[in-house]
Amino acid sequence: MGTIKTTNIESISGSGTVTLGVSGETFDIPSGVTLDSTGATITGALTNTPSFRAFRSSTQSISDNTLTKVEFDSETFDTDNTFDNSTNYRFTPGVSGKYYVFTQVCCTASSSTVLNFALAIMKKNGSEIARNNVDPDDATPNNQAYPFFATIVEMNTTDYIEIFAQIDVASGTPQIGDGTSQTYFGAYKLIG
């Protein structure tokens, strides 16, 4: 065909939608070209979605020294409704790609007691992919610990991520703390 050379493309009305190509076509952006989106709203492939951030809205009591799924029952946001905050408490992206996934779990006890052990584990499709434990002797106060970690995970549309905690206390009932700043879980799709 040919080459179109211009400095500006607008819709006929000046406020409508301009469509480039049809389904199945590819637009190639050569190496060295800068795509400037300053001030623009971009949707689709150039966004970090799906993304979500969930948290515990109340304390969750668990059995002593037993690995237990953390039930993140509230959401700060969930762009594509990919996090289940009522049944399975898991992230299933629905879009293949690499994801930055992060979590923090507040591990505490129902009484003022010393934690013997605090552990948080991230599982993909039921298999452990990341963990962090906190030495309670170094925690302040020594009846709370906040294991935090993040990782990058490659996921297909049906893979899922869940968070588990294990808390061993000297006395009382182990609890997963509540609040958007204490126990949270989130992820977003990486671009590229």
Q: What pLDDT, in 10s, does the model give residues 126-151?
A: 999 999 988 766 555 567 889 999 99
pLDDT per residue as tens digits for the range 96-127: 999 999 999 999 887 767 788 899 999 999 99
Assess if residue 79 is contained within a domain.
yes
> Mean of the per-residue pLDDT values for the chain?
88
Q: How many domains does the chain have?
A: 1
Cα 49 to Cα 78: distance, rounded to the nearest angstrom: 9
Assess if residue 152 is contained within a domain.
yes
For residue 49, count CB atoms less than 10 angstroms from its CB and return exposed for 0-12, middle for 13-18, buried for 19 or more. Answer: middle
The amino acid present at 105, given as its one-letter code, is V
Range of the domain at 126: 51-189
Cα 137 to Cα 19: distance, rounded to the nearest angstrom: 61
Assess if residue 39 is contained within a domain.
no
Helices (H), ranges, the chain = none
Assess if residue 69 is contained within a domain.
yes
Structure tokens at 58: 């109340």
Please list, residue by residue across 145-176, b when 16 or more beta carbons sit within 10 angstroms of its beta carbon and e when fewer do.
bbbebeeebebeeebbbbbbbbbbbeeebbbb
Assess if residue 150 is contained within a domain.
yes
Assess if residue 27 is contained within a domain.
no
> What's the CATH number where 138 sits?
2.60.120.40
